[in-house]
Structure 1
Amino acid sequence: MKKILITCALCLFILLNGVAQSKKSIHLFAYFKDNGQDGLHYAYSTDAYNWTALKNDESFLTPTVSKDKLMRDPCILRGEDGLFHMVWTVSWKSNGIGYASSKDLINWSEQQFLPVMEKEEGVGNTWAPEITYDKKTKTYMIYWSSTIKGKFPETLLKKDDTNNNRIYFTTTEDFKTFSPTKLLYEPGFNVIDASIVNDNDKFVMFLKDETKEPIQKNIKIAFSDNLTGPYTTASAPITGNYWAEGPTSVKIGDDWLVYFDKYTEHKYGAIKSTDLKNWVDVSDNISLPKGLRHGTIFKIKKRELRKLQKL
């Protein structure tokens, strides 16, 4: 009788453990390497701390649009239509961004150039676009940073007159037609690399303060009740005494985990918080593929990972 009970208990433990393992989230990190010339790279993780490159860290998609044909800062979002939608930086100097979609993260649609800043004169760049979905309005917002010559002169540096960014946006329901481009965020300083996530119907924007004088180069946060704003004044820096950019976040239970590129040190960093106010540095606990540059983290299914692993 005791043997039967022990065997049953063991079976139950194995069963429950198997269920827990099957429910474990799989995260995919979409990123670029070097200058983005070879295209899209993936790494996966089951704990959001330790990442393994897929396909021997070879590119999954070669960039084809724009004169420079780069694929920097890839952002991928699983849409309500079941497709993965991706936007990226196509050039250091451009008035538009790249766009493509996929059913499986392997086979992508024809790459398109979206001239989101074409109606503005004196546009110097269109950097690090991202996509966030708004359940309330059932629309997608694409947003990025751009410098427009002559705007916001109060934060323009004479010795760096081509880098004075603000965050702009457009909305779409189908990635075919787009609303007129508008200003999304003007924090009173040079700002790039915005990344917005929905948290209990509130919107959290992680952003980089690009100010050079006095030096900032750190990650901050702003909040809004609506995806298209207005957003609050930027917080104090949440990153430390180093240059950081390209924030991307993931929430695991009550823990917020924000990854960012320590680009001058050629390595990655991460911080953790339960309240978006108090942050702990966990950079020593993460492991990433060598040469990974910033992109975005999102969840995928086990069967989707298996297909990627076969390549």
Structure 2
Amino acid sequence: MKRFVYLLTMLLVAAGAFAQNAKNEVYLFCYFKGSSADGLHLAASTDGLKWQALKGDSSFLKPAVASDKLMRDPCILRGADGLFHMVWTVSWNDKGIGYANSPDLIHWSEQRFLPVMAAEKGARNTWAPEVTYDATTKQYMIYWASTITGRYPLADTITEKGYNHRIYYTLTKDFKTFTATKLLYNPGFNCIDASILPFGKKIIMFFKDETVKPVQKNIKIAYADKITGPYKQAGTHITGDYWAEGPTALQKGKEWILYFDKYRNHKYGALTSTDLKTWTDISDQVQLPSGIRHGTVFKITVAEYEKLKAAKN
């Protein structure tokens, strides 16, 4: 009898956990693989640690804009309009980025090329764009890293093929009209891969310090009172003694999980924190699809996840 009661209790606990989990949102990771020519890949997780590639790890959307037709560094945001808005890097050497939207991550709008750096004659590139929504102004901010030849000359750019990036941005309410491009963040050194999220009454930016001399190649944090800045760096780097890039953060209650690409080690890393000051490395607990490269994490509903699972190759 006692064993029966025990088994029944365990079943009820499991059922309760399943019911609770069914109410929760599912985490999604959008990313690229290889050269990115095959397009958008998606992986899902219920705990932020174990991630399963969807659709057999095949592409959900193939790139169709710009001469190189790449889809690197995808960033997806659910907008205030309910649509999923995506921006991405279309080329190593272009003055614009890619944009498309979708109601379900399966059916996509026509892809568009946004010439966000066209006004800068010396602009060499437009890398790793991301998009964040500002509920206060009801605007979307698209931001990215660009090098403008001669704008910020440094000695170490000799070893970086002359690249010396800063973070730039544009604002839009409808992804049809955009404000003039402006400088968002200049910490005084080469920086890329900004990822911006609300943090209470503050705005937090994770970004990569690209400095070669003395070598940095790590992830740092900056804060601001509003989405357009000014941003101020807080403390030193939070990643370890390895080269890291492509930070993207997930909030699970009071816990933050920061994922990043240990690109020289050909694997992903992860840190966790509850205060954004003390970080614990949990890289050995995270399982991601083989070959995953720079991307972003976001949340979807269980119903949306079930539709994605049913998507065929």
Compute the TM-score of the two structures, normalised by the length of structure 2.
0.94
Which residue type is aligned with residue 247 of structure 2? Answer: P
> C-alpha separation between the residues in 1 aligned to 2:19 and 2:157?
57
Q: Is the 8 A contact 1:258 1:270 kept in 2?
A: yes
SS in 2 for 1:157: helix
SS in 2 for 1:17: helix
Deviations 1:270-300 (A, max 9, x none): 0011111111100000001000001000001
Which residue type is aligned with residue 204 of structure 2? Answer: V
Deviations 1:123-170 (A, max 9, x none): 111000000000110100000000001101246523435310000000
Q: Is the 8 A contact 1:155 1:188 kept in 2?
A: no
State the 1:70 CA deviation. Answer: 0.2
Fraction of identical pairs, as percent = 59
SS in 1 for 2:233: coil
Which residue type is aligned with residue 284 of structure 2? Answer: D
Which residue in 1 is equivalent to 2:131? 131
Q: 1:277 to 1:7 in 2, by over 3 A?
A: closer
Which residue in 1 is equivalent to 2:233? 233
Q: Is the 8 A contact 1:209 1:216 kept in 2?
A: yes
Q: Is the 8 A contact 2:168 2:183 kept in 1?
A: yes
Which residue in 1 is equivalent to 2:76? 76
Compute the TM-score of the two structures, normalised by the length of structure 1.
0.95
Could you tell me which runs of 5 or more consecutive residues in structure 1 were left unpaired when the two chains were aligned: none
Q: 1:274 to 1:68 in 2, by over 3 A?
A: same
State the 1:234 CA deviation. Answer: 4.9
Which residue in 2 is equivalent to 1:108? 108
State the 1:233 CA deviation. Answer: 2.5
State the 1:15 CA deviation. Answer: 6.2
Which residue in 2 is equivalent to 1:251? 251
Which residue in 2 is equivalent to 1:98? 98
> C-alpha separation between the residues in 2 aligned to 1:257 and 1:237?
16
Q: Is the 8 A contact 2:30 2:76 kept in 1?
A: yes
Which residue in 2 is equivalent to 1:305? 305
CA RMSD of superposed structures (Å): 1.9
Which residue in 2 is equivalent to 1:295? 295
Which residue type is aligned with residue 147 of structure 1? Answer: T
Pairing of 1:120-159 with structure 2 (within 5 A): 120-154=120-154, 157-159=157-159
Deviations 1:44-84 (A, max 9, x none): 00000000000110011000100100000000000000100
> C-alpha separation between the residues in 1 aligned to 2:6 and 2:54?
41
Which residue in 1 is equivalent to 2:174? 174
After the TM superposition, which parts of structure 1 deviate over 2 Å for at least 4 consecutive aligned residues? Answer: 5-19, 154-162
Q: Is the 8 A contact 1:87 1:100 kept in 2?
A: yes
Q: Is the 8 A contact 1:72 1:128 kept in 2?
A: yes
> C-alpha separation between the residues in 1 aligned to 2:14 and 2:147?
57
Deviations 1:182-237 (A, max 9, x none): 00000011000000011113111000000111110000000011000000135301
> C-alpha separation between the residues in 1 aligned to 2:235 and 2:155?
18
> C-alpha separation between the residues in 2 aligned to 1:215 and 1:7?
57
Q: 1:175 to 1:11 in 2, by over 3 A?
A: same
Which residue in 2 is equivalent to 1:32? 32
